[in-house]
Amino acid sequence: MARNSDVEHSIELRAPTNRDSGTPSKATFSNDAYELARVGKKEVLKAGGQYHWVSILAPRSARKFLSHVTGMCATPCAEYANRAPTAAIYLAASVLQSTIAMNIPSYDPKGWHITLIMWAILLICTVLNTWLGMILPVIEVLILLVHVLGFFAVLVPLVYLGPKADPRSIFTVSFDYGGWGDLTLATFIGLKGTVAAFVGKADFASN
C-alpha cells in the first residue's frame, strides 16, 4: 500500500476564507468538495489507487487499516474492469458460433473459431470507435431500437407459440443435465449464465 510522506501527513484542511476579512467565503459548493479538490490539485498529484487517497484523508489513528481495507476491495474491482470486456466479447462470439451450429448441421464448431470471431468483433469495435466515430451516435440509436423491438420479437412468439408447461413443474422440478451430481451445485452453476445478463457494465477507476 502507499506510504505517505510527512508533508502529506501534515495536510491541514481549512475552509476557503475571504482574503480581506479572513472570514469564511461563500462558496457554491461544500467545504468537503473544496478541500478534496484542493488536496487533489496541490498535494496529491500521484497515480496511486483509492487506497492512497484513503491513507491521506482518513484520520491518523485509522489511516493504515482503512488504506489496506480499501486496497483489498479496490484490487478485485480493477481486475474485473480489465477482464469484463474480454468476457463480453467471448460471450458474443460463443453465441454467434452456437447460432451457426444450430442453423448449419454440417458445421463442426472448434474452440479456435471463437478466437477468430472475437478478433473480428474487436476489429468492428475499433473501426466504429475510430474511423466511423462521427456516426457512432446513430449506430447506438439503431442498436437501442433493435434491443427494444427484438425483446418483443422474441418474447411474443415464445409466449404464444412455445410449448406450455405446468407451473408447478417449473418451480419445483430441477434437472442436472450437466452431470454435476448435486442439484444445488448444478443450480448455482446454471445461474451464472442467467445472472451475467443482469450485471450490465460497471466502470471502475483504478487510479
- Total-model pTM: 0.46
Contact present, 67 and 54 (Cβ < 8 Å): yes
- What residues form DSSP beta bridges with 17? 24
Q: Within a domain: residue 84?
A: no
**Domain presence at residue 141:** yes
In a domain, 143, yes or no: yes
**Can you tell me the distance from the alpha carbon of 4 to that of 144, in angstroms, rounded to the nearest whole number?**
47
Q: Using the structure block, give the residue that is written with the C-alpha cell 448435486.
A: 182
Examine the fold and report which residue of 70, 96, 120 is the final residue of a domain before the chain moves on: 70
Phi, psi (degrees; rounded to nearest 5) at 157: -60, -35
Question: Is the residue at 53 inside a domain?
Answer: yes
Asked if residue 137 belongs to a domain, the reply is: yes
Is residue 67 within 8 A of residue 1, CB to CB? The reply is yes
pLDDT at residue 96, as a whole number: 93
CA dist 58 and 36 (Å) reads 12
For residue 198, the one-letter residue type is F
| Structural domain ending residue among the three candidates 42, 70, 98 | 70
Q: pLDDT of 37-60, one tens digit each?
A: 666 555 554 545 677 778 777 888
Q: Which amino acid is at 169?
A: S
pLDDT at 170 (0 to 100) = 80
Residue 53 DSSP SS3: helix
Quote the CA–CA distance of 28 and 47 in Å, as a whole number: 29
Number of domains in the chain: 2
The amino acid sitting at 23 is T
| Cell numbers describing residue 200 | 450490465
Which residue, 122, 147, 162, sits at the end of a domain? 162
Q: Which residue has the cell 480581506?
A: 20
* pLDDT number for residue 90: 87
Q: Which residues of the chain have pLDDT under 50?
A: 1-29, 45, 47, 202-207
Residue 39 lies in a domain: yes
Which residues form the domain of 14? 6-70
- Asked whether residue 150 is assigned to any structural domain, the reply reads yes
184 within some domain? no
Residue 99 to residue 106: CA distance in whole angstroms: 13
